[in-house]
Chains A and B, each alone.
Chain A
Amino acid sequence: MNGTTSIRLDHLTRVEGHGRVDIQIRDGAVERCQWQVVEAPRFFEAMLRGRKCHEVAHITSRICGICSIGHTLASLKATEAAMGIQVSAPVVNLRKLLLHAENIQSHMLHLGYLVLPDLLNAPSVIPLATTHTPQLLLAIRLHRLGNEMSDLLGGRTTHPQRAVVGGFTRWPTPGELSQLRSRLASALPEGIRLAQFIAAHAAGFPTFQRETEYIALVGPNEYAFYDGCIGSTEGDTFTVDQYRQVCNEYCVPQSTAKYARHRRDSYMVGALARINLNYPRLSATARSVAEIFGVRPPSCSPFMNNAAQMVEVIHCLEDSIQRIDHLLQDGLKPEKASWAVRAGRGTGCVEVPRGILFHEYEYAPNGECVWANCVIPTNQNHANIQKDMEALVEQFKDRPAEEIEFMVEMLVRAYDPCISCSTH
């Protein structure tokens, strides 16, 4: 094909943060194809220096509005590891519930408000309020349930106050948990209905695959969000403390966020990576929803990350019901966390909506943070977005510019990138 196709998206829309795309195709050859991150860096690792251990999670929560719960929990785990603080089994269970709440909220925000318009050929969610009212209301109800679950367990939806070093300042009552349980149970069939609707429109995603290394937390007993080791589809496993051997962060001139690589030029983290590594430990209903979408490990299409998120929403709803049953069976005995400040170094890791997250801190004997490092899921995905974009544009380079632009936008959106978070 002769002629020049230029695609320049200055601020890609319906994603968190500021990212740019710059593509040029001349006479049938891709001359330029670049994903650029132009977000203003905030320097969190520097901001933490000199702050007290009990303030650190409050500060790092502000890395991200959407996954503030995940940042809070990764931060608390790092501080607890540094100071040798053990938390009780019910605290761990409540934290896992809190992570589920965030996952439901964040995935529904992405699928309902950001992805659905692409599948229904709408510029945004706003026209869907009139064209697809029942489906949009389903998505909003699930989103609200995620948020209200966060309010109940964390104190509020964004930047939770109740989760602190050693445990929680306030616990939910058995009555509140029972009420939440019945809402989760009635949301489950609604979630399945939404999944069926999205699956029926999933043909709107480009047919595209690229062999990729996937990295996620793995554990033998459950679909890992909170505990486990770092697993890779290339076969390696690492302890959480060895995270730097996995991430190998580096700087590139086109991005204010760092990039990462492990065995290959790039790797992917997030819902699809988790499913690729933890499929057998999904809840039964979640596995049946995975069947509807045809998600089977190893799935190497980044667009399947959307389906993987829907599968995880179902898993989180179902697993939350079981966790609440355990908590109620064992009896809730709110405990006050007691711990002592000491010097140390520790790493905390959790799976957040967009993938595996690491915080590492070093504390002085007076409990002041002297050094910090945070590796964010979208950091780890940037290089893979670049590699996927190169392959996608090469595959579809003969298509009209608008079509390529639309596919590239859908590609970036499929990662659900948290760009300001990745720059932090």
Chain B
Amino acid sequence: MGKPKVAFFDFAGCEGDQLQVINLEEDLLQVLEMVEIVSFREAMKGHADSYDIAFVEGSITRRSDEARLQEIRRHAKVLVAFGSCATLGGINLLKNFQEPENVRRLVYGDHYFQYETYSARPLKAVVAVDAEIHGCPVSRREFQAVLTSLLLGKTPEVPNHPVCVECKMAENICVFEQGMTCMGPVTRAGCEACCVSAGSFCWGCRGLVDDPNADAQREILSRHGLSLSDVIKRFRLYMGFVEVSR
């Protein structure tokens, strides 16, 4: 039996998640001992039409891109949404809350009609997704863990506790106590609170935990001076698709 075949694909996004695979540096050579990469346009020529695991980055922003995703779905035994654009819609969702024609006119002026677009959405709005790796960008450690699980035939574990838990473990001073505001209380962990540890705050890039206490979060944010419209904007930065689908 040959090595399991792995393929990488991308739609609307920055390719920063596939870059984390290359950023494994020497460890990438170990990954290559376990799997055969059969498609990775960013890094290799050649392509195969059959693969065991497809990692798909980016969100879907054009109807004409759906067919390519459906074809990937048909050829893949396991399809992994790779990075927040793929799992949540990501930052691309920001344009969904503006009038579509205005969005196109603002960027392309009078030529706007040549440029197809529709509301940005995660992969799961178009095809069935078997596993998700959140993050903007994904963490290399989590990619390796998910790949290992899939190769062992296990279901990868997706953390379902808020970033606050990991932030405490990292011994950070709470962002709210530093006079800033934070999405950590409702955001899915797995990032080891890396933004707070770097002196910033949680932006919510890994999406909401299951059953988040969104009302309490709204209240905390307003208590720390955010207007209702600011609170909505904070949720929309990465979580806008959840908002419209509910």
Residues of A within 8 A of B (CB): 11, 13-18, 39-43, 45-47, 49-52, 55, 58-59, 62-66, 68, 109, 113-114, 117, 123-126, 129, 137, 140, 143-144, 147, 155-159, 161-162, 164, 168-170, 251, 253, 256, 258, 420-421
Contacts and interface: CB of A to CB of B under 8 A. Distances in A.
B44 A125 contact: yes
Q: How large is the interface on B (under 10, 10 to 19, 20 to 34, 35 or more residues)?
A: 35 or more
B95 A140 contact: no
A251 B42 CA distance: 26
Contact of B94 (A59, A147, A155): A59
Contact of B29 (A39, A129, A157): A129
22 contacts: A14-B41, A14-B44, A17-B15, A40-B65, A42-B120, A43-B104, A46-B102, A47-B94, A52-B230, A63-B14, A65-B137, A68-B14, A123-B44, A123-B45, A124-B46, A125-B43, A155-B194, A155-B199, A157-B20, A158-B23, A159-B16, A169-B198
Given A47-B94, A65-B16, A65-B19, A124 B44 contact: yes
Interface string B101-112: 011101111010
Nearest to A156: B194
Shortest 5 CB-CB contacts between residues of A and residues of B: A65-B16, A169-B199, A124-B44, A155-B198, A47-B94
Interface of B: 10-20, 22-23, 25-26, 29, 32, 37, 40-46, 58, 61-62, 65, 90-92, 94-95, 98, 102-104, 106-109, 111, 114-115, 117, 120, 136-137, 194-195, 197-200, 203, 230, 233, 237
Given A15-B42, A62-B16, A123-B44, 5 more contacts: A40-B11, A41-B107, A155-B194, A161-B194, A251-B111
B16 A158 contact: yes
Given A140-B26, A420-B13, A51 B200 contact: no
B25 A144 contact: yes
A147 B200 contact: no
Contacts of B26: 137, 140, 144
B43 A114 contact: yes
B95 A42 contact: yes
Contacts of B10: 420
Contacts of A39: 12
Contacts of B14: 62-65, 68, 420-421
B20 to A, nearest CB: 7
B94, B108, B117, B233 — most chain A CB neighbours (10 Å): B94
Nearest to B201: A161
A147 to B, nearest CB: 6
Contacts of B43: 14, 113-114, 124-125
Nearest to B20: A158
A16 B42 contact: yes
